[in-house]
Each structure stands twice: as structure tokens, then as C-alpha cells.
């Protein structure tokens, strides 16, 4: 089986590591990628093609894991007329996933739940072709939400409304503690109710947010565009904060 990964950031890199089978051959391309991505590709010993178009040809599965702003353009370029399974794992709105579905004969709506660079992320899938990916249960947890494209993305967006707003609030609280020179005491106090691992998880969350603020801002914009709800004041505030980094 040949699987093409379009984009080779954290999502694709970790999938490449987790889905380890002699029967599965991964391929990608460095076409238009940043030097950071090219370095990651070179370190991974994945099969590399000169172009994504070439990599997609004769692939059984294509997985799109780019930034939210690129997802639709990538699908227009590679999903149209593609006969294999096309999976979009980007954190975009259900409306965008349905647009991609209209371009593609065999589409699966996907969402990675949990920390992508962990050893146990969960893959939410929806769409009539989702059950064709149950073989991935041999490598990571797969949960089929429904046969309706958009349902996996809806759950991802709902989760993001909580996690991303919470991340921004955590960063602000931590910044205040730093100004008071009470960083350790701040985490010790919260750990009394949040658990012993709270400090390590919080620092990891803060670092991840800072390193991917642009992507997370795009994801919040997807939430605001999809729900179009004036009551989403926390999301709007979190978006403004992320754009400052």
C-alpha cells in the first residue's frame, strides 16, 4: 500500500512514525516546503518525489496535513479526479470539508484529537468511506463518528473552542506569576487541584502555542467563520492574543 503525505509537519511526521508496517510505503515531496520541513523529510528516510503530483499518482491513500489556509487549495490541486482515498486532517470548518468532498470521489473527513507528537493520539473519522481506514487501529486509536462528512470536524472545532481559549488564559496567568516572581508557587498551587502533572503539561501547552501561534490563529478563524456567533467573545479575544505572538 502506498500512502502520500501532503505536508510534512508534526502531523505527517508522527503518522509516519506510528504507522510502521512493511506493507505500507510512505511518500511525500519537498516541493514548495520550508527548509525546516525539508530537514525533517531528510531525517525521516521517507520516499521523496520531485512533486506532489508525482507522489499522488498510483497512491492508494492521500493524507492532507497542511495549514488550515492551504487545505482547500491543496484539495483542488490533488483531490480532483483522484480515485483513491483522500483524507483531510486539517483543522478547518465542516463547510470546508464538504467543499473538498465535492471535489473528491472517495473522501474521508479526519481530525487528530490529542497531542499529535504523542504515542497515543486518537484519529476521528467521518464519511461513508471512513470504515476503509479501520486498519489504522493497528497503529493508533481510530474512532468513526458517523458516515456524514463534517461530523469529525465539528467535534474538533468544539474541542478547539475550549483548548485554545484555555491555552491563552493559561499563558496570561503564567505571565502574571512571572512578573511577581512566583512561577513555581503558581504551578504548585494549581497542582493541588489539577494534578501532579499539571506543571509539565501546562509548560508544554504554552510552548506549543507559542511555536504554532499562526496555525492556531487560523484554526480560531475557522471556528468564528463556521459558528458565526456573536457570543464567542472568549474565542475572539484568544484570536487577538494569538495574533500578537
> What number is the average pLDDT over the span 157-186?
95
Taking 80 as the threshold, does the pLDDT of residue 168 lie above it?
Answer: yes
CB 28 within 8 A of CB 40: no
Taking 90 as the threshold, does the pLDDT of residue 117 lie above it?
Answer: no
Model confidence pLDDT, tens digit, residues 124-141? 999 999 999 999 999 999
Taking 90 as the threshold, does the pLDDT of residue 176 lie above it?
Answer: yes
User: Residue 19's closest CA among 65, 58, 67?
Assistant: 65
The CATH T-level fold of domain 154-242 is: 1.10.1040
Taking 80 as the threshold, does the pLDDT of residue 11 lie above it?
Answer: yes
State which CATH number among 2.30.30.90, 3.40.50.720, 1.10.1200.30, 3.40.50.300 fits the domain covering 2-147.
3.40.50.720
Distance between CA 207 and CA 189 in Å, rounded?
Answer: 21
pTM over 0.85: yes
Number of alpha carbons in the 13 Å side-chain half-sphere of residue 79 = 25
Model confidence pLDDT, tens digit, residues 35-90? 999 999 999 989 999 999 999 998 999 999 999 999 999 999 999 989 999 999 99
Enumerate the domain spans of the chain.
2-147, 154-242
pLDDT at 116: 75
Amino acid at each position: 500500500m502506498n500512502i502520500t503525505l501532503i505536508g510534512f509537519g508534526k502531523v505527517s511526521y508522527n503518522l509516519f512514525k506510528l504507522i510502521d508496517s512493511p506493507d505500507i510505503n510512505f511518500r511525500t515531496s519537498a516541493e514548495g516546503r520550508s527548509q525546516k520541513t525539508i530537514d525533517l523529510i531528510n531525517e525521516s528516510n521517507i520516499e521523496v518525489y520531485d512533486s506532489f503530483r508525482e507522489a499522488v499518482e498510483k497512491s492508494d491513500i492521500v493524507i492532507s496535513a497542511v495549514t488550515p489556509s492551504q487545505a482547500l487549495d491543496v484539495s483542488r490541486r490533488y483531490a480532483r479526479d483522484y480515485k483513491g482515498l483522500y483524507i483531510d486532517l486539517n483543522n478547518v470548518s465542516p463547510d470546508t470539508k464538504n467543499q473538498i468532498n465535492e471535489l473528491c470521489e472517495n473522501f474521508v473527513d479526519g481530525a487528530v484529537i490529542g497531542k499529535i507528537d504523542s504515542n497515543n493520539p486518537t484519529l476521528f473519522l467521518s464519511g461513508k468511506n471512513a470504515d476503509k481506514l479501520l486498519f489504522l487501529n493497528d497503529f493508533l486509536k481510530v474512532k468513526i463518528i458517523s458516515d456524514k462528512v463534517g461530523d469529525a470536524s465539528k467535534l474538533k472545532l468544539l474541542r478547539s473552542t475550549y483548548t485554545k481559549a484555555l491555552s491563552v488564559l493559561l499563558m496570561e496567568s503564567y505571565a502574571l506569576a512571572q512578573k511577581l516572581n512566583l512561577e513555581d508557587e503558581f504551578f504548585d498551587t494549581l497542582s493541588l487541584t489539577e494534578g501532579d502533572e499539571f506543571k509539565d503539561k501546562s509548560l508544554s501547552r504554552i510552548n506549543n502555542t507559542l511555536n504554532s501561534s499562526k496555525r492556531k490563529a487560523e484554526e480560531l478563524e475557522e471556528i468564528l467563520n463556521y459558528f458565526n456567533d456573536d457570543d464567542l467573545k472568549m474565542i475572539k479575544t484568544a484570536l487577538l492574543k494569538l495574533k500578537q505572538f
